[in-house]
Amino acid sequence: MLKTDLAGATAGLTLPRAIPLEVTRVVRETADAVSLVLLPADPDASALNYHPGQFLTLRIPRADGGAVGRCYSISSSPFVREALQVTVKRTRDGYGSNWLCDNARVGQRLDTLAPAGRFVPDDLDADLLLIAGGSGVTPMRSIMTSALAKGRGRITLIYVNRDDASVIFAAKLARLARAHPERLRVIHWLTSRRGKPTTTCLQTLTAPYRTYSAFICGPAGLMAAASEALAANGMPPEHIALETFTSLAGDPFAAVPTLPEAADGAHLELDHYGETRRLTWPGDTVLLDLLLGRGLEVAYSCREGSCGTCICVVERGKVRMLRNYVLSAADLARGYVLACQSLPDAADCKVVF
Ligand SMILES: Cc1cc2nc3c(=O)[nH]c(=O)nc-3n(C[C@H](O)[C@H](O)[C@H](O)COP(=O)(O)OP(=O)(O)OC[C@H]3O[C@@H](n4cnc5c(N)ncnc54)[C@H](O)[C@@H]3O)c2cc1C
């Protein structure tokens, strides 16, 4: 498409901030998982600064010329000298994971949205209990490498897999455990030998770690059993973080239509990173679309209420959220909402970013 055609096609639309990356290495981790080592194509890589436990949202092309967005946790650490990396495991009959495993090549360009997510330790000095199943180990590798490099706490990883051959990062985990015998303990649980871990087994296994901060990521059954086990051991809910691996239903790279000033709607006083703006907020427009449509920059990623990137605070008035898969009851009580899911529910609102 000619440049002028492209400009015409996107007039009246705000395009999301896609960040170009180059694949510099494809590492086969197991028969059905690969790591992609990624280099920012733009020399100014500050948009890719990340915290351990965060994820990228990659744009994966479709045969019809469109694309899907898929989230992949960053498996590298920002605190050691290693390149940005994600690790993808094939999902049976899934589109994006199989496309990446089959097509990712050195030199290939992939677009991502900025790193996002709240599956991040508040304190790298804390004692950490990490419970992972299968590809759920990817954020754990980033968290444990970061905590070992920067923090002083103890770390236990309980890692559930089908069999030896399906253990992602087996050699790397063994090396880390050898290098930090006083701080890191890795407990492998193979379901081919021991069956799936039950809540009771996990309660016994995790009992020594009830004062730790827990991070859980894996298949739904394991996450439920592990959460129940930790609760039964008396671990407070605010010390338990969960990351659920699901596919996005929509396309987070899709353009957002530019919005003209609305005639009707709630009065919105917006504190936009320290600058005050007043807008009319139509009752059927979610806050993120209003801001992007009016040309205001806001951090966001999934646009589906599950990543927490577009978090903001309601200081006056009230909003109604369509969906929320990420904010806790405590977050909501403090006035936090997700801009991508928030509709006005009062005539006068003040929101702070
Ligand atoms: C925060 C976050 C981090 C993540 N990190 C990782 C990671 O580090 N590594 C990793 O491997 N994954 C990760 N994921 C999961 C990843 O984003 C994808 O969900 C996963 O790769 C599957 O995507 P897919 O396109 O291959 O499958 P999809 O095409 O989305 O399909 C998923 C499943 O649904 C079924 N399905 C698809 N369409 C239909 C339909 N119409 N009707 C019925 N069933 C259908 C498929 O058969 C398949 O079993 C993460 C997800 C999130 C949200």
Evaluate: CB of 248 within 6 angstroms of ligand 1. Answer: no
Evaluate: CB of 94 within 6 angstroms of ligand 1. Answer: yes
Label the pairing between strands 240-243 and 213-217.
Answer: parallel
* 102 Cα: distance to centroid of ligand 1 (angstroms): 15
What is the reported pLDDT for 249? 86
| Helix, strand and coil in the chain, % to nearest 5 | 25, 35, 40
CA distance 164 to 206: 22
**What are the CA-CA distances from residue 297 to residues 14, 59, 293, 310 (Å)?**
10, 20, 10, 11
Residue minimizing CA distance to atom 50 of ligand 1: 245
Evaluate: CB of 89 within 6 angstroms of ligand 1. Answer: yes
| CA 301, chain centre distance (Å) | 9
What is the reported pLDDT for 302? 85
Amino acid at 181: P
Residue with tokens 């992007």: 292
Evaluate: CB of 57 within 6 angstroms of ligand 1. Answer: no
What is the reported pLDDT for 13? 55
Evaluate: CB of 95 within 6 angstroms of ligand 1. Answer: yes
What is the reported pLDDT for 16? 61
**Which residues of the chain carry a pLDDT beneath 70?**
1-16
What is the reported pLDDT for 325? 87
What is the reported pLDDT for 8? 37
**Is the whole model's pTM more than 0.75, yes or no?**
yes
Residue minimizing CA distance to atom 14 of ligand 1: 245
What is the reported pLDDT for 11? 46
Residue minimizing CA distance to atom 31 of ligand 1: 94
Burial of 123 (0-12, 13-18, 19+ CB in 10 A): exposed
CA distance 144 to 197: 22
Evaluate: CB of 70 within 6 angstroms of ligand 1. Answer: yes
